[in-house]
Amino acid sequence: MFESIERVPGDAILGLIEAFKNDSNPDKVDLGVGVYRDEAGITPVMRAVKEAEKLLIETEKTKAYIGSHGDPEYGADVLETVFGADSEVLAANRASATQSPGGTGALRLAADFIKSNLPGKSIWLSNPTWPNHLGVFGAAGLNIEKYPYVDADNRLDFDGMLAALKQIPEGDVVLLHACCHNPTGFDLSKDQWQQVLAVVQERSLLPLVDFAYQGFGDGLDEDAYGVRLLANTLDEMIITQSCSKNFGIYRERTGCFIAVAKDADDMEDVRSQLAITARENYSNPPGHGSAIVATIFNSDELTAMWREELDEMRGRINGLRSDFVKGLAPHGLDQRFAHVAEQRGMFSFTGLTPDHVAQLRDKHSIYMVKSGRANVAGLNSANLDYVCNAIADVVK
């Protein structure tokens, strides 16, 4: 029966990884893959994570299942990080955490939850958005619509976004990026979040906020502004959270589906449905990553160490953005790429065209995705000038 199965193209980013690996140019640069890299080009294990794992080796007593909702201690830690220690939402027991296999697992939980419990509702995604949003929600059978996010000049199109949101049918789901928008790096200001909130209320929309990069934009609390604004004002919302980036535990698949309901009773109804959804998807989430996070938060010393490391990573990325723009100044391109310094997170919608991207790859062995999205964390002091010179070569 397998003879009738057709081969499909592989994931574009995975193809980039393979092409980069096979490139013999010693000056090659990878700006495509979506993981943090340090000055040496390594995705490091954070010091706090290493110390937590040492403790787990000594103290862990079982490898038994942790239940469909996951580790309760981990869930409580995530909720406090997302909403804040003094959150009225948490005090009223309006929020619930269901641990998931990474942020992608949380998105799939959200997709199946919406499909099963909110029949007929479409989900609206920013254009552009993380490509796998389309895959995850499409695989669940949801109808996908789009709202504009970037204009023809490669700038945030907030007016276009707001106008489109005002036309969304009442009761539909709108996916918003909490911070560090992937792939563009363009984030909403506090005033813009207030305007989005007003439209969400006016149209009775259900916000689904993808929160994969808390701490990578402007700070743990600063990056949570939009999430907390919506949660403190609205009766209901969904949040999908990931510890892959801010704890550097990508392969441990550690995420969380968070639901906010009108009251504690409604929350228990939602939570009962999520247990079934999780059970039907993967039964139980993996436990090592959540144990690492819980161990860190259970220690003031490790929490302080983790926060310091996160601040260092964020500072490095934001510094690279400024250095990149400065590096283009001798070529007269600093104004053309000034937006890169204003963006937040690992990714930048550079404004480079597919032809520019192809030339960078073929002539200079610099790899990024076709859209011109670059992982800023792939830059370092050794390759920054090389990348700036190459960009100047292909755009002039």
How far is residue 249's CA from residue 36's CA, in Å, rounded to a whole number? 11
202 in helix, strand or coil? helix
Q: How many CB atoms sit inside 10 A of residue 265's CB?
A: 9
Mean pLDDT of 46-75: 97
Q: What is the pLDDT of residue 15?
A: 85
On the question of pLDDT at 249 being above 90, the answer is yes
CA angle at residue 105 from 37 to 206, to 5 degrees? 110
Q: Residue 383 — pLDDT band, cuts 50, 70, 90?
A: very high
Q: Residue 13 — pLDDT band, cuts 50, 70, 90?
A: confident
Residue in 263, 267, 188, 199 with CA at minimum distance from that of residue 227: 188
On the question of pLDDT at 10 being above 90, the answer is no
Q: What is the pLDDT of residue 14?
A: 79
Q: What is the pLDDT of residue 119?
A: 96
Provide the CATH number for the domain formed by 2-45+314-395 in this structure. Answer: 3.90.1150.10
CA angle at residue 215 from 209 to 218, to 5 degrees? 100
Mean pLDDT of 74-97: 97
Q: Residue 42 — pLDDT band, cuts 50, 70, 90?
A: very high
- Give tens-digit pLDDT for 127-152: 999 999 999 999 999 999 999 999 98
Residue in 151, 153, 222 with CA at minimum distance from that of residue 193: 222
Q: What is the pLDDT of residue 197?
A: 98
Which CATH number is correct for 65-297, 1.20.140.10, 3.40.50.1970, 3.90.1170.50, 3.40.640.10?
3.40.640.10
What percentage of residues in the chain have a pLDDT greater than 70? 100
- Give tens-digit pLDDT for 319-368: 999 999 999 999 999 999 999 999 999 999 999 999 999 999 999 999 99
Residue in 4, 60, 345 with CA at minimum distance from that of residue 182: 345
Mean pLDDT of 39-61: 97
**Where does the chain hold its CATH 3.40.640.10 domain(s)?**
65-297
Query: Which residues fall within 8 angstroms of residue 266, CB to CB, at 6 or more apart?
Result: none
The pTM assigned to this predicted structure is: 0.96
Q: What is the pLDDT of residue 9?
A: 83
**Where does the chain hold its CATH 3.90.1150.10 domain(s)?**
2-45+314-395
On the question of pLDDT at 217 being above 90, the answer is yes
- Give catalytic residues, as residue numbers: 130, 210, 245
Q: Residue 8 — pLDDT band, cuts 50, 70, 90?
A: confident
How far is residue 94's CA from residue 279's CA, in Å, rounded to a whole number? 23
- Give tens-digit pLDDT for 291-301: 999 999 999 99
Q: What is the pLDDT of residue 11?
A: 79
On the question of pLDDT at 223 being above 90, the answer is yes
Average pLDDT, the chain: 97
Q: What is the pLDDT of residue 98?
A: 98
Tokens found for residue 240: 């999908």
Q: What is the pLDDT of residue 41?
A: 93
Q: What is the pLDDT of residue 12?
A: 79
Q: Residue 251 — pLDDT band, cuts 50, 70, 90?
A: very high
